[in-house]
Amino acid sequence: MRKKSIGFIGLGAMGKPMAANLVKAGYLLSVYDINPEPLKELAALGARKGNSCADVSQDVDTVITMLPADPQVREAVLGVEGVLQTAKAGATLIDMTSLGPHTSREVAAAAMAKGLKFIDAPVSGGNVAAEKGTLTIIVGGEKEVLEAQRDILETLGAKIFHVGGIGMGETFKMANQMLVAINMLGIVEAFTLAVKLGADPHTLYETLKVSAGGSWILENRMPNYILPGNYTQPGFALDLLRKDVGLAVDSGKLEKVPTFLLSEAFQVLTMASAEGHGNKDYSVVTEIFEKLAGVAIKS
Amino acid sequence: MRKKSIGFIGLGAMGKPMAANLVKAGYLLSVYDINPEPLKELAALGARKGNSCADVSQDVDTVITMLPADPQVREAVLGVEGVLQTAKAGATLIDMTSLGPHTSREVAAAAMAKGLKFIDAPVSGGNVAAEKGTLTIIVGGEKEVLEAQRDILETLGAKIFHVGGIGMGETFKMANQMLVAINMLGIVEAFTLAVKLGADPHTLYETLKVSAGGSWILENRMPNYILPGNYTQPGFALDLLRKDVGLAVDSGKLEKVPTFLLSEAFQVLTMASAEGHGNKDYSVVTEIFEKLAGVAIKS
Amino acid sequence: MRKKSIGFIGLGAMGKPMAANLVKAGYLLSVYDINPEPLKELAALGARKGNSCADVSQDVDTVITMLPADPQVREAVLGVEGVLQTAKAGATLIDMTSLGPHTSREVAAAAMAKGLKFIDAPVSGGNVAAEKGTLTIIVGGEKEVLEAQRDILETLGAKIFHVGGIGMGETFKMANQMLVAINMLGIVEAFTLAVKLGADPHTLYETLKVSAGGSWILENRMPNYILPGNYTQPGFALDLLRKDVGLAVDSGKLEKVPTFLLSEAFQVLTMASAEGHGNKDYSVVTEIFEKLAGVAIKS
Amino acid sequence: MRKKSIGFIGLGAMGKPMAANLVKAGYLLSVYDINPEPLKELAALGARKGNSCADVSQDVDTVITMLPADPQVREAVLGVEGVLQTAKAGATLIDMTSLGPHTSREVAAAAMAKGLKFIDAPVSGGNVAAEKGTLTIIVGGEKEVLEAQRDILETLGAKIFHVGGIGMGETFKMANQMLVAINMLGIVEAFTLAVKLGADPHTLYETLKVSAGGSWILENRMPNYILPGNYTQPGFALDLLRKDVGLAVDSGKLEKVPTFLLSEAFQVLTMASAEGHGNKDYSVVTEIFEKLAGVAIKS
């Protein structure tokens, strides 16, 4: 079977290595980004440099969008030079951006009104997994549409979950990010208070990880970032988590669901970002509490 | 070696089966509780019925307190008919109540001023583990004091952690309960919002438990309580978790450590308790959010 | 001087009486709303019924928009049948909707790029003041633009504040609504707790209104709504306050300003709305706390 | 009528000038404080220096306590050298400390069990009003007891409110302090966000003070502290407000009343105190938000 032709839009920290993996796997790629640098890099690997979202969407089997957030996706798909100006009926749009579920559905509806197929397929794993092609991909949409694009998704990721209809990929990603933020900030408060009372942070970590308070975040962030006091690569930037939590705050508002702890988490992340920590791993929020309490959790 | 003589104070849902296990294991027990019923039951098993905290503390090797909260421990130990009126120098006081760390240290200091040894040894596992003698016991205090009482602790529990000096047992327990409450309420918010957006709760559970948002609480409370919609025994009562979270709020106040998410969790638990859910498993807070959002997470 | 010709867009609870006042004052009005009913009513008073936003904006001196929220203003001004399709350079656009400041500036920039003048002029006072022409109008924009439209504004309102450049009308309105919501919810918490402790609510009101805790909201909402337990007309609907608070939450997010109490207020308003109180005066949130605490503040 | 004999306990920033005013008015004062300095000062004015709380309570008509907080009052009244060891039946205990309502009632009950009369009479106005004898005094207890002590209260204060039975003085004071804190922090958030969006803080102040968002705190703290950026004397210290808010948080916990905004306010005050602002006027919390947002509200 011939390899699909793909229009790939968005060559940032995630999109660039993903597009590169698709080129290397033999797909015919037309790529577009507002930044000329990564365009050149992809062209050097064999992709065709496009001039606009509309340009790379013309006559391809699949369009992939991997962009920063909701406004960019709206512009790229619905805009005057957007995907829907040229993409042909029967083509598939895979939006891999982390979007608000409401935006995802709005974009999907517009695409389907033009005869396109759609799946929302946000990822996790960060740029390391993007480079290795080992992303986790959470897919919403019809099963047949997913299956027809499985070859592409398996080139990009190691685990593919199909979790429901359109918008459910974004919804599940959002729920996960809610727990990441809330569990993380709970850990920061618990450790700060306990260490202020005299607890040894290593012993506390070893005890809690086998107790009812245990979590993936505890087992991952405590030994890898917080105890060593090292908030650099290849973590997940605080401003990106703040963006994801903000999408969930917005969804709670639209759906009229109270989100007490989530909103609190958003405020603490906002404070941390305002203090200049936005580009560090989100667990850096620990430093704010260490400073306020006059304690050292790191060793 | 002869079995130690023990004064055991507090025969509630936890203390009664713990005292029974000690009697069955051959310890000489004098027991006291303000409620005559469990006193009779323990006497039937072979314990001596005491008349007061002071009475059961006289001439014993070890005094164990297992009481509802800080005021009862203060009264039982420091009061006019309390442990310190009669317990002999060299005896050991093991407080197994879940206390605020500050109260624990205050009681310990008073006991040590009278020549007693002290460890704080709060437990987890609930009344089922209390009956089976499989509690998890988190111990603060000097290692030698713990070792000298290890026979007793191993009669009561399956896992014994020594986590630091006096007050650290209570501190670690408190940190754990903070995470239990915060992780739980995060799950409730994430599931309510996602289900309102159309997510299938079972699929969401299966996805999140292998994702970064995973936690012990998710793996325990979701399949056992929330998905079946069953908030009865042998869970952990919402009012007990509220009490533990309240101790942490108090500690944060005393130590001047901000506890944004913890305080939010306390408010939600207070609302749930005010709505009459105090005696159900704490995961019942889900029902409040289901009702507010008009969704069903249970199936 | 001849009376200005005006295109008036949005004939809801506020816009309809405002437009009527302008007709009665002798202005030449072309009006538009998606709902045909109020269009007929205004036509009966002498206004011209328009077919679209673009239609009523053609060849008029001034366009006024008075719409529910940001998306409607975007659509009405920037949309394919919007104001900017037809309004002539030199005309003035007065947006009187309560908008997020960012949207206000975005709309203003688009209008000014087409040669229009712009002021943002949100109002307060509710539909009673709209009918009487006694609104308070908070104006952002250039002073000369305001002065040239003062005749219109004085037809609609009793107090006109010029508070700064473009977007400042919306910003001041937003700051006011933040305080309305936060002061209101503080009062609810304070009264609920004090009454639960045995306070007489009337005595508490009389004492607090002459104390440091006094506020306009206390003096207005307590005697008029909460003490009589009457949450009906002509108050300000909880869902409208929730919308305004939500705009402020969004602004805090965009500006990266922590808004701890505001976000908390939004959550409580969301809970109240989810419980079905959205159409009552916002002080109805008192009923939720009365019920939770088992007390009566109303008499 | 002969002037009453008074035992006065607690000669801090408030108690010292209050005791001095009583001496100057001709009352027979026995005074006590753990700090010898103010004792000497009062002795120089003509008071008798006592040796203990019990000592100054012997054979007097009235005992006044004006202490930092709950533990000191418990110790001073109920302790082994406390008021109740010596005060005669029929004497009156006036507790003027800002206490939690529960503690107030507990102390009152113990005093009345010994035959004493009791009123709780917390004050507001700060040390300036204490010196001038112009305090506002909020009294709980029986009307006849208050009337019999009115001469003393009128020596100390300018306004005397009788607001209910025992504990109501403290309850009303607490409700007032809740509103002070919540209204203050709302103002800080609203001004920070609006100024970040470009608002002129003076214009914003002038506009809001005549709008629905107006409050005593806005009219007092904005021109006197925040706009000049001066957080020094004779304000009310942030740590004192934090203590009062903490009492309300505790009361909410004991009464099972949710206090969402109050708890949030407590967290922000805790953060401010942890950052070293505890001794400045509480409006200093503005500086934290100014710094986070990178704006200047002060001019």
Q: Following CA atoms B51, B55, B59, B64 in sequence, which dihedral angle do they give, to the nearest 10 degrees?
A: 80
- Using the Cα atoms of residue D234, residue D239, residue D241 and residue D243 in order, give the sign of their dihedral: negative
Nearest-neighbour CA in chain D from B237: distance (Å): 16
| Confidence at residue A299, expressed as pLDDT on a 0 to 100 scale | 86
Q: Which residue has the higher pLDDT, D299 or A108?
A: A108
- Using the Cα atoms of residue D32, residue D38, residue D43 and residue D46 in order, give the sign of their dihedral: negative
Q: Is C173 a catalytic residue?
A: yes
3-state secondary structure of C109: helix
Q: Above 80 in pLDDT, residue B167? A: yes
Beta-sheet strands, E only, within D33-177: 48-49, 62-65, 92-95, 117-120, 123-124, 135-140, 157-164
Q: Above 90 in pLDDT, residue C193? A: yes
Share of chain B above pLDDT 90, in %: 96
* Same fold for the pair C5-164 and C172-293: no
| Confidence at residue C126, expressed as pLDDT on a 0 to 100 scale | 83
Cα A219 to Cα B199: distance, rounded to the nearest angstrom: 27
Q: Do A293 and D274 touch (CB under 8 A)?
A: yes
Q: Following CA atoms B137, B143, B147, B149 in sequence, which dihedral angle do they give, to the nearest 10 degrees?
A: -60
Q: Using a CB-CB distance cutoff of 8 angstroms, which residues of chain D are in contact with residue A292?
A: 271, 274-275
D288: left (phi over 0), alpha (psi -120 to 50) or beta: alpha
Superfamily of domain B172-293: N-(1-d-carboxylethyl)-l-norvaline Dehydrogenase; domain 2 (1.10.1040.10)
Cα D157 off chain centre by? 13
Cα A214 to Cα C58: distance, rounded to the nearest angstrom: 65
A2 — pLDDT class (breaks 50, 70, 90): confident
Residues of C with CB under 8 A from a CB of A: 246, 249, 252-253, 256-260, 263-264, 266-267, 270-271, 273-274
Share of chain C above pLDDT 70, in %: 99
Which uninterrupted H or E stretch holds B16? helix B15-24
- How far is residue A175 from each of residues B199, B204, B220, C55, measured CA to CA in Å? 10, 9, 18, 45
Nearest-neighbour CA in chain A from D276: distance (Å): 9
Average pLDDT over residues B22-32: 97
ipTM, two decimals, is: 0.95
Taking all residues of chain B, what is their mean pLDDT, rounded to a whole number? 96
B1 — pLDDT class (breaks 50, 70, 90): low
- Using the Cα atoms of residue C285, residue C288, residue C289 and residue C291 in order, give the sign of their dihedral: positive
Cα B15 to Cα B35: distance, rounded to the nearest angstrom: 12
Q: Using a CB-CB distance cutoff of 8 angstroms, which residues of chain C are in contact with residue D208?
A: 172, 175-176, 179
Task: Identify from A192, A271, A273, A285 which residue to disrupt to test chain D contact, counting D C-beta atoms within 10 A and taking the largest count.
Answer: A271
Q: Do B274 and C293 touch (CB under 8 A)?
A: yes
Q: What is the pLDDT of residues B170-221, one digit of tens each?
A: 999 999 999 999 999 999 999 999 999 999 999 999 999 999 999 999 999 9
Catalytic residue among D4, D16, D117, D173: D173
Beta bridge partners of C92: C62, C117
| Confidence at residue C239, expressed as pLDDT on a 0 to 100 scale | 96
Q: Above 70 in pLDDT, residue B40? A: yes
**Residues D266 and B263: beta-carbon distance below 8 Å:** yes
Cα C278 to Cα C285: distance, rounded to the nearest angstrom: 10
Cα A98 off chain centre by? 5
Q: Do C187 and D179 touch (CB under 8 A)?
A: yes
Q: Above 80 in pLDDT, residue C234? A: no
Produce one character per residue of A231-243: b if its CB has 16 or more CB atoms within 10 Å, e if not. Answer: beeebbbbbbbbb
CATH of C5-164, one of 3.10.20.30, 3.40.50.720, 3.30.590.10, 3.40.50.1000: 3.40.50.720
Residue with tokens 């019809």: A142
Cα C194 to Cα A125: distance, rounded to the nearest angstrom: 51
Q: Do C267 and A273 touch (CB under 8 A)?
A: no
Q: Nearest by CB to A263, which of C257, C263, C274?
A: C263
Chains that touch C (3 or more CB pairs under 8 A): A, B, D
Beta bridge partners of A31: A8, A49
Cα A136 to Cα D14: distance, rounded to the nearest angstrom: 64
Residue with tokens 């108690």: D15
| Confidence at residue D1, expressed as pLDDT on a 0 to 100 scale | 65
Q: Above 70 in pLDDT, residue C1? A: no
- How far is residue C251 from each of residues C240, C245, D200, measured CA to CA in Å? 17, 10, 17
Instruction: Let me know how long chain D is.
Output: 299
Q: Above 70 in pLDDT, residue A233? A: no
Nearest-neighbour CA in chain D from C291: distance (Å): 10
Cβ–Cβ contacts within 10 Å for residue D45, how many?
A: 14
Cβ–Cβ contacts within 10 Å for residue D206, how many?
A: 15
Q: Above 90 in pLDDT, residue C263? A: yes
| Confidence at residue B250, expressed as pLDDT on a 0 to 100 scale | 97
Taking all residues of chain C, what is their mean pLDDT, rounded to a whole number? 96
Which uninterrupted H or E stretch holds B117? strand B117-120
Taking all residues of chain A, what is their mean pLDDT, rounded to a whole number? 96
Beta bridge partners of C93: C63, C118
Nearest-neighbour CA in chain C from A244: distance (Å): 12
Q: What share of chain B is helix, strand, coil (3-state, %, to 5)?
A: 55, 15, 30
Residue with tokens 């949710």: D258
Give me the amino acid identity at C156.
L
Q: What is the pLDDT of residues B91-130, one digit of tens each?
A: 999 999 999 999 999 999 999 999 999 999 999 988 889 9
Q: Do D270 and B264 touch (CB under 8 A)?
A: no
What spatial distance separates the first Cα and last Cα of chain D, rounded to whole Å? 56
Q: Do D185 and C182 touch (CB under 8 A)?
A: yes
Domain formed by D5-166, architecture: 3-Layer(aba) Sandwich (3.40)
Q: Following CA atoms C273, C276, C280, C281 in sequence, which dihedral angle do they give, to the nearest 10 degrees?
A: -30
Question: Counting Cβ atoms within 10 Å, is residue A68 exposed (0-12), middle (13-18) or buried (19+)?
Answer: middle
Residues of D with CB under 8 A from a CB of B: 246, 249, 252-253, 256-260, 263-264, 266-267, 270-271, 273-274
Q: Above 70 in pLDDT, residue A163? A: yes
Nearest-neighbour CA in chain D from A291: distance (Å): 9
Residues with Cβ within 8 Å of B168's Cβ and at least 6 positions away in sequence, in order, are: A197, A198, A199, B101, B120, B140, B141
| Confidence at residue D118, expressed as pLDDT on a 0 to 100 scale | 98
For residue A221, give both structure tokens.
């962030």
Catalytic residue among A4, A16, A117, A173: A173
Residue B42 has φ and ψ, to the nearest 5°, of -70, -35
Beta bridge partners of B228: none
Q: Do B253 and D249 touch (CB under 8 A)?
A: yes
Domain formed by A5-165, architecture: 3-Layer(aba) Sandwich (3.40)
Q: Do C246 and A264 touch (CB under 8 A)?
A: no
Q: Above 70 in pLDDT, residue B233? A: no
Average pLDDT over residues C113-140: 94
The residue extents of the domains of chain B are 5-165, 172-293
Q: What share of chain A is helix, strand, coil (3-state, %, to 5)?
A: 55, 15, 30
Q: Please state the three-class secondary structure of B128-176 as a single string.
A: HHHHHCCEEEEEECCHHHHHHCHHHHHHHEEEEEEEECCCHHHHHHHHH
Per-residue pLDDT for chain D (299 aa), expressed as one digit of tens each? 689 999 999 999 999 999 999 999 999 999 999 999 999 999 999 999 999 999 999 999 999 999 999 999 999 999 999 999 999 999 999 999 999 999 999 999 999 999 999 999 999 988 889 999 999 999 999 999 999 999 999 999 999 999 999 999 999 999 999 999 999 999 999 999 999 999 999 999 999 999 999 999 999 999 999 999 999 867 899 999 999 999 999 999 999 999 999 999 999 999 999 999 999 999 999 999 999 999 999 98
